[in-house]
């Protein structure tokens, strides 16, 4: 199994440096670094908090329409970040190697921030709502 590790560092404002590492066992086989801009507004944060915390409890009209708008925005932000991460020549090579064995790849994301706090999510004993599978 290989691992793709992304390590995020804030550079100020909405600018971040992301170091990407392709790891097999305990050895870093390949690494690259890229700067990305994440335009995530206060409204985006509030919408994300609502989507993760409130919408699952109240999926009735008109909330599905609101959720569809939030999902569309999350997709836009995700596409933008993905494109910024993997458009550079050095990260394209790394992503190409990852894709060769994508089904047997573990993804790790290391960040400096507490996104629960940033998104206004309440602390819960059961944190399953924030797990990515």
* Residue 16, Cβ density class (10 Å: 0-12 exposed, 13-18 middle, ≥19 buried): buried
- Tens of pLDDT, residue by residue over 97-112, are 999 999 999 999 988 7
pTM score, whole prediction = 0.75
pLDDT grade, residue 123 (50/70/90)? low
Q: Can you tell me the mean pLDDT for 46-72?
A: 95
Q: What is the pLDDT of residue 120?
A: 56
* Residue 96, Cβ density class (10 Å: 0-12 exposed, 13-18 middle, ≥19 buried): exposed
Q: What is the pLDDT of residue 111?
A: 82
Q: Which residue has the higher pLDDT, 121 or 56?
A: 56
Asked whether residue 130 carries a pLDDT value surpassing 70, the answer given is no
Asked whether residue 85 carries a pLDDT value surpassing 60, the answer given is yes
- Tens of pLDDT, residue by residue over 7-58, are 999 898 889 999 999 999 999 999 999 999 988 888 998 999 999 999 999 9
Are the CB atoms for 35 and 15 separated by under 8 Å? Answer: yes
């Amino acid at each position: 199994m290989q691992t793709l590790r992304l390590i995020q560092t804030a550079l100020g404002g909405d600018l971040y440096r992301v170091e990407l590492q392709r790891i097999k066992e305990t050895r870093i086989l390949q690494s690259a670094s890229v700067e990305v801009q994440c335009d995530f507004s206060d409204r985006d944060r509030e919408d994300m908090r609502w989507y993760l915390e409130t919408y699952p409890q109240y999926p009735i009209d008109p909330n599905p329409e609101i959720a569809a708008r939030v999902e569309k925005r999350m997709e836009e932000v995700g596409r933008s970040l993905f494109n910024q991460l993997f458009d550079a020549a050095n990260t394209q090579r790394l992503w190409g190697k990852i894709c060769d064995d994508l089904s047997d790849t573990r993804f790790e994301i290391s960040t400096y921030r507490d996104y629960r706090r940033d998104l206004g999510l309440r602390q819960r004993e059961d944190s399953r709502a924030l797990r990515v599978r």
